Amino acid sequence: MSFLQSSFGRSKLRWAPWLLGLILSLWIIGPFLVNYRSRVDRLPEHQPPQRVHPPPPPPLPRPPTAGAPPSDWAERAHQVRQAFLHAYEGYRKHAWGHDELKPLTGEGVNNFNGWGVTLFDSLDTMWIMGHWDHYQEAVEFVAKAKFQMAEDAYAPFFETVIRYLGGLLSAYALSGTEVFLSRASDLGKMLLPAFDTPSGFPMYAINTMTGKTRPGWTGNVLWAECLSNQVEYKYLAHLTGYNDFLRKPENIMAKMYNANVSGIFPTQWDIGNGRPINTQHSVGAYADSAHEYLLKQWLLTNRTEPKVRDLYIESASAIIKNLLYVTPNRKLLYVTDTSNGIPTHNFEHLSCFLPGLLALGAHTLGDALSSRDREMHMFAARGLAYTCFVTYDDQRTGLGPDEMRMKKWENTEDGKWLQHYERWEKEGRPGSVPPGVGEVERAKGNDRDYSATKAAYLLRPETVESFFILWQTTGDERWRERGWKVFQAIQKHTRTEFGYASVGTVDSPLPTPRNEMPSFFLAETLKYLYLLFMDEDILPLDQWVFNTEAHPIPVFNWFNWEKTLYNITTA
C-alpha cells in the first residue's frame, strides 16, 4: 500500500492525488501549448507566398500531331523545346565542359571562366522544358564544380553573378536539388572579396582562388555592375542566413538611397568615394539591368521594401520624360541615351528589355503609380515593344540589328514623346492610342526612319523577353504572333549543323554567320519564347522574379529574425 493510498485512500480527499497530478501536468505542458498556439498564429506571416517547395515539375507542351502544321501554341512551344535540344546537344557533344559552343566549327571555347557557363545557364531551362536526362547529367557535373582558376585569371563579377550564381539559385528554387544551393553558396562566398573596395561597389573582376581583384576598362564601375547582384545575393542570404550575402549588396543600395540623384542614375560611378562621375543617362549597355533590379528587388521581397520601389518609380518616370522620342515619319517610339542632356538618338537592342520592365511595373505597382502614370507607362511599354518588333520585321532576315541610329526631328525637342502624349491628351485623345503606339506599315526600301549602326543579330533575348511580359500582362495574342515570327526567323537564319549562330548582317538574304552561340540564347531567348507559347502559366509573375539572365527566383518574405539580424526595414 502506497503512502498516498494510506493517507487519502478512504477519506474525502481521495481525489487529491488526481488533482495534484493534473496541476503538475499543466505546469509541465502548459508553456508548450501557449508557445505552439502563438507559433501557429505567426505562421501566415512566415509563409513564402503560396509556394510549395519544390513545386511539381511544369507540364510539357503537346508533341506535334503527325504531319499537321504547327497551328496551335502547344505545337509551337514544342518546336522551341526541340530548338533548345538541338542547341544543348550540340554543346554537349562538341563543347562539353567548355563555356560555349562554336556553332560553325563544332568546338568549345572558354570565355567565361572555363567552368561550363552554357551548362550552368541552361539548368533551369532544362527543368522547365523537362529535358530530364540532360538535367540529371548536368546535376552530376555541377556537383563536382570547384570554381577554380589559374593565378593570373579573373572572373568577370557581373557575368559570373547573373549567369552562374543566378543559374544555380534558380535551378535550386525550381527543383529543390540541394547540391545547387551548396555550389551557389560556395561561389557566392568566393566572389565576396569583389565588394571589398572603399565604396563597397564591386570590382570588375576577381580571382576566385586568391580573392585578388582588378578593375575594368573604365577604371571605375558601371551602374549596371553596381546593381546587378542584389536579386541573387538577397535570395542567397535568405536561404543560408549568411550575413555578408546581404550586408555587402545592401551597402550599395544604401549608397544609392543617399546619392541624392533625382531621376535617372548616371552610368559611371567612382569606386573610391561612391559618387557618380559622369552625366550619361542610358537604359542600354552600362545601365540596363540596374533599372531592372530597382523594381525586381521590391518584387522579390514580396513588395515590402518601399524605398527601392520609389527609386524605380522616379527613374522610370524620368526615362519616359527625358529619353523617349518618336521618329518624324513612322512615329516609331524609341528610347535613347543622353550625355549632358543631349540625346544621341542611338537605340540599342539591349534597351528592348525596357518595355517589359515598364509593363511589369504598371502591372504590379498599384496605387504607388497614379492612374495617369500607370496608363502612360503601359502605353510606353506597348509602343517600345512594337518598335523593337518593327526593327526585326523590316529586315530581310526578320532578325533585329544590335544597334540603330534613329531619324530625329529638325528641332530635336519636337521628337520628345511626352510632348506628343500631352498634345494627344489635350486634343481629347483622338484615335484609341497616343502617337508612337499604333501599328505601322512594313517599310518599303530604306524609308525606315532609322539605319543600323551595328547590323548583327547576336541571338539576344530582350525583344522576346518584352513580348513575354506584355503577353502576360495584357493577354493580347499579337505579342505571341510577333514572337512566333521572330522564332521562325531564328530557325531559318541561325540554325547550323552544331547549334545556332549569331549573324553578321540582318538585312541580307544570306546573312554571314558568326562562330558564336552565347549561353544567354539557351538561358533567355529560348526560355522566353517557350514561356510565351506555353498555354499554362508556368511561372506566374506575382510569384517569380526573373533575374537579368532570365533565371526565375521565387518571391519570399523576410522572417522576423532576418529583419532584426540584417536590420531590414519593411513597410
The three-point CA angle 377-387-84 to 5° equals: 100
* Residue 496: closest CA among 482, 512, 520: 512
Q: How far is the CB of 346 from ligand DMJ (least distance, A)?
A: 16
CB of 550 to ligand DMJ, least distance (A): 7
Rounded least distance, CB 65 to ligand DMJ, Å: 35
Shortest reach from residue 515's CB to ligand DMJ, in Å: 18
Enter the C-alpha cell of residue 7. 493517507
Contact with ligand DMJ (CB under 6 A) among 122, 185, 280, 289: 289
Binds ligand DMJ (CB under 6 A): choice among 78, 98, 296, 460:
460
Residues 495-524: x where in contact with ligand DMJ by CB under 6 A, - otherwise, as a string: -------------------------x----
**286 conformational bin, left if phi > 0, alpha if psi -120 to 50, beta if neither:** left
> What is the smallest separation between the CB atom of 348 and ligand DMJ, expressed in angstroms?
10
Please, what is the minimum distance in Å from the beta carbon of residue 160 to ligand DMJ? Answer: 12
Neighbours of 423 (CB within 10 A): 12
3-state secondary structure 472-508: HHHCCCHHHHHHHHHHHHHHHHHECCCCECCECCCCC
The smaller minimum CB distance to ligand DMJ, of residues 61 and 518, is found at 518
Please report the DSSP string for 228-274 in residue order. SSHHHHHHHHHHH--HHHHHHHHHHHHHHHTS---SSPPSEE-TTT-
Number of residues that bind ligand DMJ (CB under 6 A): 8
Using CB under 6 A as the binding rule, whether residue 185 contacts ligand DMJ is answered as: no
348 binds ligand DMJ (CB under 6 A): no
Please tell me the distance from the alpha carbon of residue 25 to that of residue 23, in angstroms, as a whole number: 6
From CA 543, how far away is CA 561, in angstroms rounded? 23
Scanning residues 534 to 553, which ones bind ligand DMJ (CB under 6 A)? 548-549
**Is 288 annotated in the active site?**
yes
Nearer to ligand DMJ, 467 or 520 (CB): 520
**Residue number, 162 or 184, with CB nearest to ligand DMJ:** 162
**Residues pairing with 280 in the sheet:** 339
Smallest distance, Å, CB 531 to ligand DMJ? 15
Which residue out of 232, 462, 549, 562 is catalytically annotated?
462
Instruction: Name the residue nearer to ligand DMJ (CB basis): 224 or 376.
Output: 224
Would you say 473 and 374 are in contact if contact means Cβ atoms under 8 Å apart? no
Active site residue 159: yes
Classify the phi-psi angles of 130: left when phi > 0, otherwise alpha if psi is within -120 to 50, otherwise beta: left
Nearer of residues 461 and 499 to ligand DMJ, judged by Cβ = 461
Q: Toward ligand DMJ, which CB reaches closer, 80 or 326?
A: 80
What phi and psi values does residue 103 have, to the nearest 5 degrees? Answer: -75, -10
CA-wise closest residue to 358 among 225, 469, 223, 226: 469
| 184 Cβ contact list (under 8 Å, min separation 6) | 165, 168, 169, 172, 236, 239
**Coil vs helix vs strand at 192:** helix
Of 288, 348, 393, 524, which is the active-site residue?
288
**Pick the catalytic residue: 121, 124, 159, 232?**
159
- Of 333, 359, 358, 360, give the one whose Cα is nearest residue 347: 333
Interface with ligand DMJ includes 315 (CB under 6 A)?
A: no
Rounded to whole angstroms, the Cα distance separating 390 from 439 reads 9
Task: Say how far apart CA 245 and CA 185 lie, in whole Å.
Answer: 9
For the purposes of burial, counting CB atoms within 10 Å of the CB of 107, is it exposed (0-12), middle (13-18) or buried (19 or more)?
middle
State the CB neighbour count (10 A cutoff) for residue 247: 16
Nearer to ligand DMJ, 324 or 522 (CB): 522
How near is the Cβ of 437 to ligand DMJ at its closest, in Å?
25
Q: State which residue, 323 or 369, has the beta carbon closest to ligand DMJ.
A: 323
User: Which one of 76, 81, 92, 163 is the catalytic residue?
Assistant: 163
Minimum CB distance to ligand DMJ, residue 289 (Å) = 4
The verdict on 118 binding ligand DMJ (CB under 6 A) reads no
Residue nearest to ligand DMJ according to CB distances in the complex: 548
Q: How far is Cα 211 from Cα 467, in angstroms, rounded to an integer? A: 40
CB nearer to ligand DMJ: pick between 208 and 548: 548
Catalytic residues: 159, 163, 288, 462
Interacting residues toward ligand DMJ by CB under 6 A: 288-289, 350, 460-461, 520, 548-549
